[in-house]
Chains A and B, each alone.
Chain A
Amino acid sequence: MKAALLGLLAESHVHPGVGQSNETVDLPVARERTTGYPFVPGSSCKGALREVVEQRLPAEAERWFGRQDNAGQVMVSDARLLLLPVRSLTGAYRWLTCPHIVERLVRDRRRAGLAVPETPFDFSALDGKGESRVLSGGTDRLFLEERSFAPAGPLPAGLVTLLGGLIGDGRARARLAGQLAVVSDEEFGWFARYALAVQARNCLNEQKTSTNLWYEETLPPDTVLYVLLNDRHTAEGGGAGGSAAVADLLCQHPYLQLGGNETVGQGWFLVRPRVAGEAEG
Chain B
Amino acid sequence: MTDDDILAISAMGESALLCQAPGEFGGAAQERILGLAEVVAAWPGVVETVPGVNNLLVMFAPGVMAPGAMRDRLRDAWTQARAVRTEPRTVEIPVAYGGEHGPDLAGLAERTGLSPDEVVRLHGAPTYTVLALGSVPGFPYLAGLDRRLAAPRLDVPRLRMPAGSVLIGGEQGGILPVASPTGWHCLGWTPFTLFNPAADPPVTLRAGDRLRFVAAERPA
Do A and B form a real pair? no
